[in-house]
Amino acid sequence: MAYAGTAGMEFGRTRWRLVWFVLVPSLAAVATLLLLIANGLIAVSFAISGTTFKVTADSVKSTGVDGNGVGFYQFGVVNYAGDGTPNPAAENVISKAELTNLCQSVSVGPFTLRLTAGTGSSPVQASHLVIDATSLSADVAQFDNINIGQDVGTYNNPGLTAPGARGSGPNVVSGHVPLGTFGQTADGVTLTGVKQVANATSATSFTLPNLSLSFGSSC
């Protein structure tokens, strides 16, 4: 993976073509997590399939903050497939999210399964949206009160969780992000023209107006 620096950054209205690559030291963060995993100090929340999927949206924006007063978190993680294969990713957590014109596609054998939702005036709504992205770009990225280099292991209301090595059997548990984990936080975030590849997504609630699921072309 390649990372771009933070030169030319303007706080409040930040224009970065590769949004999550602002985390220059995230390779070091991933290496730290791997070390903790090797010592059995953290565990994965679920074993991923290892198949990536594409997601696009006209816009993704936060609409509120959590008990920590934070609307957006980002830090490096390592997810594990069922066979134990490690998959590094940048974990993006949005406390309350609104997505317009959402499209998600994944390859299923020789076919492509395509989901769309949030079209027109009815955006997708999500709470505690977690996206583990292997690549992400946006035409424009705007952050409100961004902190780069934040220790995301210090949050407890709620605390953030990190994945680790897959345990025995299908059931696995989460572990608190360790102290000293490099990340970035913001009161709010708005991304337009979003294109990403991810290996995992979760949310405590996910409302999909105008949902359509079919076999078709990739997003």
Q: What is the pLDDT along the chain (219 residues), one digit of tens a residue?
A: 333 333 444 444 444 343 444 443 344 444 444 444 333 333 335 677 878 899 999 999 999 999 999 999 998 887 777 777 778 888 899 999 999 999 999 988 889 999 999 987 899 999 989 888 888 889 999 999 999 999 999 998 888 887 655 555 454 456 788 899 889 999 999 999 999 999 888 888 899 999 998 898 999
pTM over 0.75: yes
Distance spanning both ends of the chain, measured CA to CA: 22
**Is the separation of the CB atoms in 127 and 60 below 8 Å?**
no
The two tokens of residue 29 are: 């963060």
The two tokens of residue 43 are: 């565990």
Burial profile 109-122: b = 16 or more Cβ within 10 angstroms, e = fewer: eeebbbbbbbbeee
> What's the CA gap between 117 and 103, in Å, rounded?
7
> What's the CA gap between 185 and 147, in Å, rounded?
5
